Chains A and B, each alone.
Chain A
Amino acid sequence: MKSAIVVFPGTNRERDVAIALHRATGKRPGTLWHRETELPAGTDLVILPGGFSHGDYLRCGAMAAHSPIMPAIRAFADQGGHVLGICNGFQVLTEAQILPGALLRNAALRFLSQDCHLRVERAGTAYTRHYQKGQVFRAPMAHGDGNYNADQATLDLLEGEDRVAFRYVTPEGETATSANPNGSARSIAGVYSANHRVLGLMPHPEDLVDPLMGGTDGAPLFAGLVEALAA
């Protein structure tokens, strides 16, 4: 699997995702500066990592969505390529309208760094083939603007097309206001594109891939990607 981790000015979780991919593949992934205009030949997976691209000084992800590399990423996605946007990367994907909806300020209006529990809403994608549908896993979250929102029609469409990837739930797997840390509509933590190849999510499975760091709940996501895209 050949992956390209895109670095915008202010991206800061590129090393975390590189560590997770290194653990899963044994290879160190390449990084791609946002001023590039083409993806490296043979790219299987594009990752937009977490961070504060351009300082989040406009809306989160709004300026990065217009970076020189973005047309190439959009074309890659249109051609069926796999694109994973985590945290700020998810915000970039929504700002670029590659994924629907928007990430608003957390309902509590504070930055939140804590573990959350995610329920797998659709198994069998390249990202979730090593999880079961309904499986609950833990992931750290660290964001100020992760409150997913879209109009009701879009939310209904996402549900109807099975495009809700993960929901925030209790450790027992139930949705609840108390388990929805940022106030996201319908507890949505991550969504897919129509072909289920572009995934955006707010929490950080890449930071929970090592037993020493508190668990390996995030490791199956990367293991699944390797298996799905290695061919």
Chain B
Amino acid sequence: MNRDVTPALAKEFGLSADEYANVLSIMGRTPSFTELGIFSVMWSEHCSYKSSRVWLKTLPTKAPWVIHGPGENAGVVDIGEGLAAIFKMESHNHPSFIEPYQGAATGVGGILRDVFTMGARPIANLNALRFGSPDHPATKRVVDGVVRGIGGYGNCVGVPTVGGEVNFHPAYNGNPLVNAMTVGIAPRDRIFLSAAAGIGNPVVYVGSRTGRDGIHGATMASAEFGADSESKRPTVQVGDPFTEKLLIEACLELMATDAIVAIQDMGAAGLTSSSVEMAGKGGVGIQLDLDMLPQREAHMSAYEMMLSESQERMLIVLKPEREAMARAIFEKWELDFAVIGHLTDTGHIVIKHKGVVEADIPLDPLAEKAPLYHRPTQDTPPQPPLGPITSTVSPVDALATLVACPDLCSRAWVWNQYDSTIGGQTAKRPGAADAAIVRIDDHSLALALTTDCTPRYCAADPRMGGMQAVAEAWRNITATGATPLAITDNMNFGNPEKPIVMGQFASAIAGMAAACTALDFPVVSGNVSLYNETDGTPILPTPAIGGLGVIADAASAVGLALQPGLELVLIGDTEGQLGQSLWLREIAGREEGPPPTVDLAVERRNGDFVRKQIIEGKITACHDASDGGLLVTVAEMAMAGGVGVHLAAPTPGIDVNGWWFGEDQGRYVLAVTDAAAVMLAADAAGVPVRRLGSTTGDRLTLADGSFVTLAALKAANERFFPAWMDQV
């Protein structure tokens, strides 16, 4: 039922007093209930980026290979051979705590639409997941639902889920993060945009019918969780991957014709944001007649239809003479197709329902007077240096503990619920390489895809953490032999009205920007999720990075599995930086110290060297040394290949735990047949290199004779998820 519009109602809708005053000045009158709803969602944090815009503008977004940067539905880069890769990552955090299965499933559905709406066939999904402590009573339910939801949607639409990351930390107990990424491929000259054009052109609605699900979802995503978050369940949308699959095929079939002027999916804020953004970008007006809207429920009001976040819907501006042909395509796929309005020259959005004008808002001020905040920031105080740390746990015992811990254990239980092989192009499946390798059908060309972030580094030093997240994505792509091209970012933070949180955001952006510039790795799309707090406690700052690279011949990409009879060399310097390391947390029981330092010039130099060696065919396997440090890196390579390693003694003068478990950046472990040749090449390139050991037998043996068998390591590594999730 429509309610009287008052300042109190505006506040309830999430508009501040100043924002409501702005609404009154734009309208010159008290807005209608529907108009107030439109303002409140368009000016929500989720849709307007009002706290983050000033900082996002500082990110580098350009490179010769970037076709469309931020501002479109997804980023577009030229990958050669006449093709473009279209990709983006987006969060569905708040819904995934309230209703994990549907929250995660619709997160996948939403990001798929962002990509195929631009004309791309989706070829890969990835994700970045952060859960609360495994000991927390809610975590198991959330993990189970989120993993089932991602699989349930992705498997059904037939897009392989090829990679991702899973972390646990108590800071996510009441606020898990579900970040979903989709990558698609389109002909470079067939990219579809959202700017509407052509006064009088029909505005067409296709896909699922509109129901009452998800009303005010964007507003929910712009507020903190409290004790009442369970009561917000009705605002979570319900996904229908079957309809999405039909929508993909129907849209791609239509896109092969010349019928489309503009197209956009209905995501957050549904019909409101899609119609406002399409008309706004095109500088035209739009008139919608909601009587024509395909509806799933009876007696829906204009307000409900405009704010519904029902899934699997698209808005298309068609060339009028192509309407019949377009309708036939959607009818073949058994999808609703309805002309619900047309473009006008008024510059207004006008909503009619049952003969009544329910909303009439000028579009320019709705966009131009959208709130923009320069919120106060406060720097995170630097962590005091870590003093000497001693431990009575031997390196091999520490290794066995580390590979079993939730943050380092095998993720097979998760991956095995995702179809990773559909499409027949997955050359490196989850866990096989530092980045997933997905070939383009009928080409040798392949994409290298990864998601990365180390939130504990970001909490300790947001600038260094932001830099590290970008550097690690770049490094993971490099470690396969691919050339990193661009990233999408998913900025997950707490309440931006708190200066310490806004400071984390600003510093992380500064670190990311420095890394993007130094590594020629621009941001082409992204998403911001703020207010990730429960009862006043924010999550760890989590700027998740989705990286995309390209390799000319999929056959030259390398994985991390060792083979017998190889030599191992380490690229990069090791000081033994244990601050914020997993060894420090899991073995010494401390979460402190500064995170490892990222030297971008060194990162670039080392990575460019490694990539060149891989492409020249000199490397059999490669793995970057990151979480857990050097010994964990070698152990992961050994477990993947089922081959043991005999390791050389640490470099003299370095703390033994720092050597094996320090998380120093910019390092790679290479498995090669001719170590001398690679070392000579490294010396010539000014890249630090040393011999690390050789592959042999069925155990990991240190120079002092201590060892752990691969069988024991694998058993420890594979124990956690099945034991935790499948116990009766």
Contacts and interface: CB of A to CB of B under 8 A. Distances in A.
A142 B417 CA distance: 8
B417 A13 contact: no
B292 interface: no
B422 interface: yes
Contact of A9 (B157, B242, B419, B554): B242
B549 interface: no
A207 B424 contact: yes
A161 B415 CA distance: 38
B162 to A, nearest CB: 11
Interface in B526-561: 554-555
Interface stretch (A15-23, A75-83, A165-173, A194-202): A15-23
Interface in B239-287: 240-243, 245-246
Interface in A166-216: 204, 206-207, 209-210, 212-214
A16 B426 CA distance: 11
Contact of B420 (A13, A108, A113): A113
A111 B417 contact: yes
Interface in A49-81: 50-52, 54-57
A101 interface: no
Interface string B132-172: 00000000000000001001100111100000000000000
A214 B245 CA distance: 27
A111 B425 contact: no
Contacts of B417: 110-113
Contact of A20 (B155, B424, B726): B424
A108 B726 contact: yes
A111 B424 contact: no
B230 interface: no
B183 interface: no
Nearest to B428: A214
B192 interface: no
B555 A212 contact: yes
Given A10-B245, A55-B240, A212-B555, A111 B422 contact: no
A20 B441 CA distance: 12
Contacts of B426: 213
Contacts of A12: 156-158, 245, 422
Interface residues of B, number: 36
Contact of A111 (B152, B157, B243, B412): B152
A9 B245 CA distance: 8
Given A9-B333, A55-B240, A142-B155, A212 B427 contact: yes
Given A110-B417, A113-B420, A207-B422, A212 B554 contact: yes
A interface, how many residues as a size bin? 20 to 34
A218 B291 CA distance: 54
A154 interface: no
| Interface residue SS majority, chain A | mixed
Contact of B421 (A9, A52, A54, A113): A113
A212 B439 contact: yes
Interface string B400-432: 000000000000100111111111111101000
B674 interface: no
B334 interface: yes
Contact of B415 (A113, A140, A144, A210): A113
A114 interface: yes
Contacts of A204: 421
Interface in A1-59: 9-10, 12-13, 15-16, 19-20, 33, 50-52, 54-57
A124 B333 CA distance: 40
A19 B152 contact: no
B424 A213 contact: yes
A49 to B, nearest CB: 10
A108 B241 CA distance: 23
Nearest to B412: A114
A213 B425 contact: yes
Contacts of A210: 424
Contact of A15 (B245, B420, B424): B424
B421 A140 contact: yes
Contact of A113 (B243, B418, B425): B418
Contact of B245 (A52, A140, A209): A52
A10 B156 contact: yes
Contact of B423 (A10, A16, A20): A16
Contacts of A13: 158, 422
B425 A10 contact: no
Contacts of A212: 427, 439, 554-555
Contacts of A9: 242, 245-246, 333-334
A108 B418 CA distance: 15
Nearest to A51: B158
A9 B330 CA distance: 12
A30 to B, nearest CB: 17
Contacts of A144: 155
Contacts of A142: 155, 419, 421-422
B242 A16 contact: no
A212 to B, nearest CB: 5
A111 B426 CA distance: 19
Given A52-B241, A54-B242, A142-B422, A15 B416 contact: no
Contacts of A111: 148, 151-152, 155, 417, 419
Q: Nearest 8 A-B pairs (CB), nearest first?
A: A12-B158, A55-B242, A142-B419, A16-B424, A52-B156, A140-B421, A207-B421, A113-B419
Given A55-B241, A111-B419, A207-B422, 19 more contacts: A9-B245, A12-B157, A12-B245, A20-B424, A50-B422, A52-B156, A52-B242, A55-B156, A55-B242, A56-B156, A110-B148, A113-B151, A113-B420, A113-B421, A114-B416, A142-B155, A144-B155, A207-B424, A214-B429
Interface of B: 148, 151-152, 155-158, 240-243, 245-246, 332-334, 412, 415-427, 429, 439, 441, 554-555, 726
8 contacts: A50-B422, A52-B155, A111-B151, A112-B417, A113-B151, A113-B421, A140-B421, A207-B424
Interface of A: 9-10, 12-13, 15-16, 19-20, 33, 50-52, 54-57, 108, 110-114, 140, 142, 144, 204, 206-207, 209-210, 212-214
